[in-house]
């Protein structure tokens, strides 16, 4: 997945010293945790560099973080090789033109609701919510249900029998 506009609302916060910070949505983090619990790998490919992304990825157990990537297809190919995945096994969530080369390769390209029109047009699915507001969570649930793994998440939250 991308970061700015996907895991965040796309706003970049700079403090008076020029340090960049980002606001992440807890629903997205929970969705990523659910994917990890079901044995599904996640990765970040971002065109920008920000220490906050490294900290958030570490919190969420995301091992593969590519930042400052101007040609995202290179990072994508590294992930395919590292995990021996095929294109059709991959979902990628993006919002802008820089994401299109990956969209053209993956089996399930997803645009967030606030994505550019071209990205939406090239996607297999457009989220109902905007990036940074639970879009990744929405996609996580969709994937888990499609793969019949949602029950692995819900087991923990079932109402006890009386």
How does pLDDT run across 98-149, given as a tens digit for each residue?
999 999 999 999 999 999 999 999 999 999 999 999 999 999 999 999 999 9
- Quote the pLDDT of residue 160: 80
Residues at the annotated binding site? 2, 4, 95
How does pLDDT run across 70-108, given as a tens digit for each residue?
999 999 999 999 999 999 999 999 999 999 999 999 999
84 C-beta neighbours (distance < 10 Å), count:
7
Q: Do the Cβ atoms of 98 and 115 come closer than 8 Å?
A: no
9 C-beta neighbours (distance < 10 Å), count:
18
CA atoms lying within 13 Å on the CB side of residue 20:
14
Q: In the chain, what are the domain boundaries?
A: 11-153
Superfamily of chain region 11-153: HAD superfamily/HAD-like (3.40.50.1000)
Tell me the pTM.
0.94
- Quote the pLDDT of residue 114: 98
- Quote the pLDDT of residue 1: 98
Q: Do the Cβ atoms of 38 and 153 come closer than 8 Å?
A: yes
Residues at the annotated binding site for Mg(2+)? 2, 95
* Distance between CA atoms of residues 78 and 89, nearest Å: 15
Residues at the annotated binding site for substrate? 4
């Amino acid at each position: 997945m991308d970061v700015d506009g996907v895991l965040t609302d796309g706003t970049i916060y700079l403090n008076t010293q020029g340090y960049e910070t980002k606001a992440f949505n807890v629903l997205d983090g929970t969705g990523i945790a659910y994917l990890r619990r079901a044995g599904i790998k996640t990765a970040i490919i971002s065109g920008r560099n920000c220490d906050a992304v490294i900290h958030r990825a570490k919190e969420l157990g995301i091992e593969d973080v590519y930042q400052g990537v101007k040609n995202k297809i290179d990072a994508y190919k590294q992930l395919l090789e590292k995990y021996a995945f095929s294109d059709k096994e991959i979902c990628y969530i993006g919002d802008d033109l820089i994401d299109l080369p990956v969209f053209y390769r993956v089996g399930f390209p997803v645009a967030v609701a606030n994505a550019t029109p071209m990205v939406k047009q090239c996607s297999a699915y457009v989220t109902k919510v905007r990036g940074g507001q639970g879009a990744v969570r929405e996609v996580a649930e969709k994937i888990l249900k499609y793969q019949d793994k949602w029950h692995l998440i819900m087991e923990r939250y079932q109402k006890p029998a009386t």
